[in-house]
Amino acid sequence: MKSKDLTTGTKVEINLEPYLILESIFMNPGRGQAFHKLKLKNMLNNSIIVKTVKIGEKLKEADIYSKILKYLYKNDDILFFYDERSSDYYEINTQIVKISEKWLKEGLNYEIIFWNNNIIEIKNPKFIELKIISTDTYDKKSHVSKTSKNAILETGLNIKVPVFIKEDDIIKIDTEKEEYISRI
């Protein structure tokens, strides 16, 4: 991949590891050779590095692709997923691929990221609908100004919800902000 192709969002391989270009700035000093200053995120450990790439220098494009897979269940440290298009099953070890299990719900689809045919990441959906298992009790007399209360969801996550939410309600949650969005 030529230096002119190094744009934000491109995935490259450096030192045998995949990186995502977060920022690419073209620099042309008055003297000397022009270059790209790259801000890169390691897709295996999420570390951030800055790298300078001279014009004409090449980087290897990372062999990264994704599939949408349905989460089936967990057995010990193994997560089981199913590809509805190809009817393939995938086993993902939670000790190898880090995932926040508080967003895993059986039957939901997740984007699975592959690098060199190995799974490196499981992406949560932006929004997820979960059932309320229990909530704090709300007493109008003692909590005049209180507008939210704690609730425990079916995945074990504890989240703040409005006071009108009750047990067995299904709510929509923003997984990035870990915030209540609405009642379903």
94 plus 117 within the same structural domain: yes
How far does CA 147 lie from the centroid of its chain?
30
- Dist CA 132 CA 154 (whole Å): 6
| Backbone phi, psi, residue 70, to 5° | -90, 130
Q: Which helix (H) or strand (E) holds 122?
A: strand 118-123
40 plus 87 within the same structural domain: no
17 plus 56 within the same structural domain: yes
Q: Average pLDDT for residues 114-121, to the nearest whole number? A: 90
Global confidence as pTM: 0.78
112 plus 145 within the same structural domain: no
97 plus 141 within the same structural domain: no
Domain boundary among 123, 140, 157: 123
21 plus 55 within the same structural domain: yes
Domain boundary among 41, 61, 81: 61
133 plus 100 within the same structural domain: no
141 plus 93 within the same structural domain: no
Closest by Cα among 163, 168, 165, 169 to 140? 163
pLDDT band for position 140 (cuts 50, 70, 90): low
Q: What is the domain count for the chain?
A: 3
Report the CATH number at residue 38: 2.30.30.30
pLDDT in tens, 4-27: 788 999 999 999 999 999 999 998
Domain boundary among 108, 123, 138: 123
Report the CATH number at residue 105: 2.40.50.140
Token output for 123: 């992406």
Q: What is the pLDDT of residue 96?
A: 78
Give 119's strand partners: 114
135 plus 152 within the same structural domain: yes
| Backbone phi, psi, residue 124, to 5° | -75, 150
Of 160 and 143, which is predicted with more confidence?
160
> How far does the chain reach from its first CA to its final CA, in angstroms?
47
* Longest Cα–Cα distance in the chain: 73
Domain extent at residue 173: 127-183
Strand 127-135 with 148-153, pairing: antiparallel
Q: Average pLDDT for residues 156-181, to the nearest whole number? A: 91
Q: What is the pLDDT of residue 141?
A: 61
